[in-house]
């Protein structure tokens, strides 16, 4: 799919990898972006930075159907179409199976992570796919592209990541059934499993912590640049033969237990 002038919905779009993807899509690909996030102040700043002609912010709770419906309505009112959906919203809330006293973890804590990281992804993906299916197909028969953000933790989760790893493995598990269902409509579905990336949150950690994380990277021995993640999202949009798969973007990193 050619991204110029296409409309890209990005959840978690005003921070971290989602924010970097929004900047890349507008700056490098000349696309339009819809930023779905909770932080209204950061959202307004991003729209000012990218330009009102290129961006819209919708204060959104990805776990709420009503909230997503309102966001989709606002996007369609402004841009009249949705062509790509990047689901980058997520929470890394730790959740051990047993606490320090040997008691079972709270199910509510586990459910909070699943609701945002897995159910939230399905919620936005489904609402965007509904609009994509109404697009006129391009010369290759494509109407839309969905990229769901997973994690290396889906494969090698660390201790305390039972909820997070489970949610991200679920994201990958949707690839094939979603690609099979939506493929006949001209909509492709893939996921990206990023490793360690230099987001402001990570770069704000103590240098010793950063060094310990980088030590787990195989090659290259560094954090990923946020634009490398954004470039991967663009690749999944532009390469029409990528479908139903997970792209591990992690410098061959295998996370250790701790």
Which residues are marked as active site? 164
**Rounded to an integer, what distance in angstroms lies between the CA atom of residue 69 and that of residue 248?**
31
Name the token pair of 123.
């919620």
For residue 144, give every residue at least 6 positions away whose Cβ sits within 8 Å of its Cβ, in sequence order, or none: 1, 82, 83, 84, 85, 128, 129, 132, 133, 135, 182, 186, 187, 188
**Rounded to an integer, what distance in angstroms lies between the CA atom of residue 157 and that of residue 161?**
6
Handedness of CA 22, 182, 168, 222 (dihedral sign): negative
H or E stretch at 236 = helix 226-238
């Amino acid at each position: 799919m050619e991204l110029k002038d296409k409309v890209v919905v990005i959840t978690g779009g005003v921070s971290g990898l989602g924010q970097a993807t929004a900047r890349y899509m507008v700056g490098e690909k000349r696309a339009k972006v819809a930023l779905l996030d909770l932080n209204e102040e950061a959202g307004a700043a991003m729209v000012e930075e990218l330009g009102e002609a290129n961006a819209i912010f919708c204060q959104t709770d990805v776990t709420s159907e009503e909230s997503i419906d309102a966001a989709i309505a606002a996007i369609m009112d402004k841009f009249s179409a949705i062509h790509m959906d990047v689901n980058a919203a997520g929470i890394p809330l730790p959740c051990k199976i047993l606490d320090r006293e040997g008691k079972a973890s709270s199910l509510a804590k586990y459910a909070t992570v699943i609701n945002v990281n897995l159910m939230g992804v399905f919620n936005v993906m489904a609402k965007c796919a509904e609009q994509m299916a109404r697009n006129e197909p391009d010369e290759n028969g494509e109407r839309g592209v969905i990229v769901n953000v997973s994690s290396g933790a889906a494969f090698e989760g660390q201790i305390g990541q039972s909820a997070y790893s489970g949610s991200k493995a679920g994201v990958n598990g949707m690839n094939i059934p979603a690609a099979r269902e939506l493929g006949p409509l001209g909509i492709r579905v893939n996921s990206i499993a990023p490793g360690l990336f230099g987001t402001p949150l990570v770069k704000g950690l103590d240098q010793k912590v950063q060094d310990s994380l980088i030590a787990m990277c195989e090659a290259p021995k560094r954090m990923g640049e946020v634009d490398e993640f954004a470039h991967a999202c663009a690749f999944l949009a532009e390469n029409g033969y990528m479908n139903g798969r997970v792209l591990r973007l992690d410098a061959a990193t295998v996370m250790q237990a701790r």
